[in-house]
Amino acid sequence: MKAIGPNLSPLEMVTLMPDIRDLTTWIKESLFDAVPMGIAVIDQDFNLVLANPAFEEMFGPWKGRKCYSVYKGRETECPLCKGSAAFSDGKPHINEEEGYDRHGRLTRYIKHTIPVTDQQGKVTYLVEISTDITETERIKKERELLFDLVPCAIVILDRNLNIVRANKRFRETFGDREGGFCFEAFKDARAECPDCPARRTFADGKMHQAHSVTRDVFGNRVDLQVTTVPMGITEGDFEHVMELAVDITQTLMLEDELKIAHAIMEAMIAASIDGIIAVDEAHHVTIFNPAARDLFGIPITHRVSREELAGMLPADFLEKVAGEPNHVFLPDTEVKNLSGETVPVRLVGMRLGLGERRLGMAFSVQDMRGIKKLEKEKLDAERLAAVGQTVAGLAHGVKNLITGLEGGMYMLSSGVKSGKVDRLVQGMDMLERNIARISLFVREFLAFSKGREIRVAPGDPVSVAREVVELYAEKARQENIELSLLAEEAIAPANMDREGMHESLTNIVGNAIDACRMSEHRNTCKVVVRVYERDNEIVYEVTDNGVGMDYEVKKKVFTNFFTTKGTGGTGLGLLTTKKIVTEHGGRIEFVSEPGKGSTFRILLPRARLPKAPAPAE
């Protein structure tokens, strides 16, 4: 249906007229009731004479009541009656009113007051139209609250970049700047910033961002992330821009601290002399420091894959570490470098996590080649020292031999001088004997100082002792010495130089038997050989109740070519034993009491036993 308007022809008007007639009737009869705003009519005595349903909806029943009663819940006229002004001046008024609705709730409404005049021009009635703005007010208040409470500084700028409005946060941070320029407040600048985001927003109507640095009212440096948005209801047309500035000073500071901490950590990892390796949950390598590259022989350009890493570390090590809540420590193990060579290392691995989160694993690898070398050098030095002590102690053995030779010479020459033939014979005898002793001495000493390469293989510790006891069984029987072996049942195999241990035990058992032979109660002499394991140490113990050793002898027992066996032996036996035991990482102890007997003990800590060479492939 065409709208009624000035462009209609008379014919059209006629056609539409019945509608207009209906319309006018409707306006006259139904509009009053249909309007959604409260309309009430009051007379000069403030009686409510007429009201529409919307009014009743708003303020409740009104018939026969005064306006001040219905609007304000009052018994008497309002002291500042705005309505009465219209009665006197005959002009329409608009007021913002506060009253009580039909539920007794505080209501805010806009009241339009329109005077109705009679033919004489006197105002007889007032038509009051009330629009409930309570909801609007509430929303407005909410918006105000939000504006002030939002945790960022907000300003509203006009096209000249003047601050038209600022929120509480802004005022607290930068002071009262309304009317000032945004660049003065945000950047402490004299003029517009070259990259001003507000300008850009004004230009293209789009959101823009920038980072600005300024000072707050206390003079502290503040870093801001600034966002500008156009403020307008209609698309493309706006006079103001809202600028939001979020304080990122803390964030930047934390970022900075993190960067520094990270840089320090990186430097430490890079500088560490131990290899440091880290993998993520999927075992991909995330850290492989220079020391690790060195150790594993990996060039700087080569990225270590997880397969390569698994191949280089001991078998199952990665799985073991992943499954263990605490760290896994291998003090003496081997890894393979990129070329497949084994490297002795100390290895520590542990899971990494943050609370429930698993972050992978980290390892520390310490190259033991240097330490191993030192250990070997130490062993060599000890042997050398033993030899050195030996050389010092050579004196005794040699002195006796020299005296023997001198004696022989004396006998010969005095025999020749005096003609005493028995002296000649004795002299020759002495010379022969002592020369033989010197030969033996030199040979044994050379053998000792050259040392024998120890050949290590796993073996049964008890069987060596058994062999030695069997060796001496006959001799002991002949001397009426009780020789026995007491060995623990289950001593696990150990890496030993079998020949060396055999020699050591032979020396000690031999000494024990000799001690018995020299003893005064030689017919009740006993030599007991014990083999047991205690505190992860294998122990060979030889006890005799023979002569025992006094202070002098005890002091000298290991240190030089001491022999208590008269003309026999060179005294190297115990020294050799000590050397062999040292090579096994062990030690010798002894206790002895003159007349009571001696106990010699060889202690071999399992952890220090030599490694058997890898079986030939």
Partner 1 sequence: MPKRILIIDDEPDICAYLCAALEDEGYQARAMGQDEDLAGALNSDMPDLIVLDVMMPVRSGVSLYKELKSVPRFSGIPVIIISGMSPKAELIGTGFTALTGDPSIPPPEAVMEKPLVLDALFKLIRDLTD
Q: Which of 162, 400, 463, 495 binds partner 1 (CB under 8 A)?
A: 400
Give the residue with the Cβ less far from partner 1, 38 or 427. Answer: 427
Stretch that binds partner 1, among 298-306, 326-334, 554-562, 601-609 (CB under 8 A): 554-562
> In angstroms, what is the minimal distance from the CB of 563 to partner 1?
9
Q: Which two tokens stand for residue 3?
A: 């709208």
Q: Which of 44, 209, 403, 523 binds partner 1 (CB under 8 A)?
A: 403
Q: Which two tokens stand for residue 8?
A: 């209609």
Give the residue with the Cβ less far from partner 1, 17 or 398. Answer: 398
Cβ contact 574:602 at 8 Å: no
Give the residue with the Cβ less far from partner 1, 498 or 578. Answer: 578
> In angstroms, what is the minimal distance from the CB of 398 to partner 1?
9
> Does 564 engage in binding with partner 1 (CB under 8 A)?
yes
Q: Distance (Å, rounded) from C-alpha 155 to C-alpha 152?
A: 10
Q: Give kind and range of the element (H or E) at residue 216.
A: none
Stretch that binds partner 1, among 259-267, 279-287, 423-431, 450-458 (CB under 8 A): 423-431
Q: Distance (Å, rounded) from C-alpha 224 to C-alpha 218?
A: 16
> How far, in Å, are 243, 546, 549 from residue 487 at the CA level?
92, 22, 26
> Does 389 engage in binding with partner 1 (CB under 8 A)?
no
> Does 410 engage in binding with partner 1 (CB under 8 A)?
yes
Q: Which of 266, 406, 474, 589 binds partner 1 (CB under 8 A)?
A: 406
> Does 408 engage in binding with partner 1 (CB under 8 A)?
yes
The owner of tokens 């509430």 is 138
Cβ contact 83:114 at 8 Å: no
Q: Kindly write out the interface string for residues 49-68 of this chain, putting x where it contacts partner 1 by CB under 8 A and - elsewhere.
A: --------------------
Stretch that binds partner 1, among 23-31, 189-197, 561-569, 575-583 (CB under 8 A): 561-569
Distance of CA 81 to the CA centre of its chain: 76
> In angstroms, what is the minimal distance from the CB of 396 to partner 1?
5
Residues 528-547 that bind partner 1 (CB under 8 A): 547
DSSP letter (8 states) at residue 569: -
Beta strand pairing status for 240-247 and 221-231? antiparallel
Q: Kindly write out the interface string for residues 347-386 of this chain, putting x where it contacts partner 1 by CB under 8 A and - elsewhere.
A: ----------------------------------------
> In angstroms, what is the minimal distance from the CB of 298 to partner 1?
59
> Does 550 engage in binding with partner 1 (CB under 8 A)?
yes
Q: How far apart are the first and last CA of the chain?
A: 106
Stretch that binds partner 1, among 97-105, 308-316, 504-512, 562-570 (CB under 8 A): 562-570
- Smallest CA-to-CA distance from 330 within 344, 319, 351 is with 344
Beta strand pairing status for 285-288 and 106-117? unpaired
Give the residue with the Cβ less far from partner 1, 89 or 429. Answer: 429
Q: Distance (Å, rounded) from C-alpha 37 to C-alpha 51?
A: 11
> In angstroms, what is the minimal distance from the CB of 437 to partner 1?
10
> In angstroms, what is the minimal distance from the CB of 562 to partner 1?
7
Residues 576-605 that bind partner 1 (CB under 8 A): 594
Stretch that binds partner 1, among 283-291, 307-315, 548-556, 606-614 (CB under 8 A): 548-556
Provide the edge-to-edge strand list for the sheet that holds 342-354: 285-288, 275-279, 357-367, 342-354, 328-336
> Does 395 engage in binding with partner 1 (CB under 8 A)?
yes
> Does 556 engage in binding with partner 1 (CB under 8 A)?
yes
> Does 436 engage in binding with partner 1 (CB under 8 A)?
no
Residues 242-271 that bind partner 1 (CB under 8 A): none
Residue 224 gets the label, from left (phi > 0), alpha (psi -120 to 50) or beta, of: beta
Q: Distance (Å, rounded) from C-alpha 539 to C-alpha 177?
A: 91
Looking at the DSSP bridge assignments, the partners of residue 458 are 495
Looking at the DSSP bridge assignments, the partners of residue 208 are 228
**What DSSP string describes 318-379?**
HHHHHH-SS-EEEEEEEEE-TTS-EEEEEEEEEEEEETTEEEEEEEEEEE-HHHHHHHHHHH
> In angstroms, what is the minimal distance from the CB of 326 to partner 1?
53
Give the residue with the Cβ less far from partner 1, 375 or 550. Answer: 550
> Does 207 engage in binding with partner 1 (CB under 8 A)?
no
Stretch that binds partner 1, among 17-25, 106-114, 145-153, 555-563 (CB under 8 A): 555-563
Q: Distance (Å, rounded) from C-alpha 467 to C-alpha 484?
A: 12
The owner of tokens 């000649």 is 424
**Alpha helices (runs of H) in 561-608, residue ranges in sequence order:** 572-583
**What are the φ/ψ torsions at residue 28 (nearest 5 degrees)?**
-65, -40
> Does 419 engage in binding with partner 1 (CB under 8 A)?
no
Count the Cβ atoms, other than its own, within 10 Å of residue 476.
Answer: 22
3-state helix, strand, coil in the chain (%, to 5): 45, 25, 30
Q: Which two tokens stand for residue 509?
A: 């058992």
Looking at the DSSP bridge assignments, the partners of residue 223 are 213
> Does 434 engage in binding with partner 1 (CB under 8 A)?
yes
Q: Kindly write out the interface string for residues 479-518 of this chain, putting x where it contacts partner 1 by CB under 8 A and - elsewhere.
A: ---------------------------------------x
Give the residue with the Cβ less far from partner 1, 393 or 500. Answer: 393
How many residues interact with partner 1 (rule CB under 8 A)? 34
Q: Which two tokens stand for residue 22?
A: 């209906």
Give the residue with the Cβ less far from partner 1, 275 or 427. Answer: 427
Cβ contact 503:547 at 8 Å: no
> In angstroms, what is the minimal distance from the CB of 397 to partner 1?
8
> Does 524 engage in binding with partner 1 (CB under 8 A)?
no
> Does 86 engage in binding with partner 1 (CB under 8 A)?
no
Q: Distance (Å, rounded) from C-alpha 11 to C-alpha 2?
A: 13
The owner of tokens 């950047």 is 187
Residues 97-136 that bind partner 1 (CB under 8 A): none
Give the residue with the Cβ less far from partner 1, 258 or 392. Answer: 392
> In angstroms, what is the minimal distance from the CB of 384 to partner 1?
22
Query: Which stretches of the chain bind partner 1, using CB under 8 A?
Result: 393, 395-396, 399-400, 402-404, 406-408, 410-411, 414, 418, 423, 426, 430, 433-434, 518, 547, 550-553, 556, 560, 562, 564-567, 594
